[in-house]
Structure 1
């Protein structure tokens, strides 16, 4: 399939590329997925791919952005549903770490240095700063509210939010901890951080 496309066709093909990209990147990683893999899945010529995305990495970033958009409501829900900061932090971290541990696309990005480096190289420093702010933005407004009300303590809301988010790095060490010990270790750390921040 080559040539000019109607807006409806363009939207359909772009959507198919995003779906195929998510499936293939999750299964094979960005580096091992080829343009031909993507175009074969959609039924278009390799050259047609570039009418939709500048590069394979551009598609990968678009897939990750969509993944983040879909994840946001699930992350925010426990923060909005719980008035108690300790309960909210436990629920937020549990949801986030479950996603990192079970979503192969996000897991690869977090644990595979090559995937992360390709992502970083694609985004300019300003884009990376924006991504960090968006990541922090999931929880920072809630932390600021709790901090102002005295429900949690710490040096400042941004540092507290970063401390909460840093718990997710434990997922990088599942093998070091061991499969049998990891779930209990993870849950203990989540509870300890939430309880420590909520002490009056």
Structure 2
């Protein structure tokens, strides 16, 4: 096994990240071989394991790197809205759009077999980071809005799961029909927003 200096490791790691994103997005993880990845950066196949435990671990690293940017863009858009209804609809639309536009995430949505192979390599540390980045900010937002009297009196976890469930509509785009999908998505997000922001009778 060849020895790499720290500088070499950093450079090769960056190169693997770049080529992996391109190949995983276009070919998928199963059809991307180690040789596809290592030949571009000029290392032996066996040297790949100096940098990543597996192709799946590399895929997870890519997802982990892109996660913070997604959250920042979504919440920036949400915070520009004034009403709670618009904030919720914006969150649903922006997060769904981010997931649809991200080639790595979109690939997993449309290829369940690849999603399963990635899921088997998910570590507790990855799940913890994902929870802290994706779940906790939304849960904090929901709790904050409930305390302000802006949301219905339901368990925060239920509201959170309802919102996340609504976003899975993107998985059924072809079933719904490409032409009708934008209208159906708007109606669903409008319905969810209307339901969870509806005031109780005594508050009206």
**Residues 54-80 of structure 1, C-alpha deviations (whole Å, 9 max, x = no match):** 111111111111121221211221333
- The Cα RMSD (Å) is 1.9
Matches within 5 A, 1:107-118: 107-118=106-117
Count how many residue pairs are aligned between Structure 1 and Structure 2: 198
Q: Label 1:137 to 1:112 Cα distance change in 2 as closer, same or farther (>3 A).
A: farther
Matches within 5 A, 1:1-200: 3-124=2-123, 126=124, 130=128, 133-134=131-132, 135-200=134-199
C-alpha distance in 1 between matches for 2:58 and 2:173: 29
C-alpha distance in 2 between matches for 1:154 and 1:164: 15
Displaced runs of 4+ in structure 1, greater than 6 A? Answer: none
Q: Quick check: 1:25–1:33 contact (8 Å CA) kept in 2?
A: yes
More moved, 47-56 vs 111-120? 111-120
Which sections of structure 2, spanning at least 5 residues, go unmatched?
Answer: 200-204
Q: Quick check: 1:79–1:142 contact (8 Å CA) kept in 2?
A: no
C-alpha distance in 1 between matches for 2:32 and 2:66: 18
C-alpha distance in 2 between matches for 1:181 and 1:34: 38
Which sections of structure 1, spanning at least 5 residues, go unmatched?
Answer: none
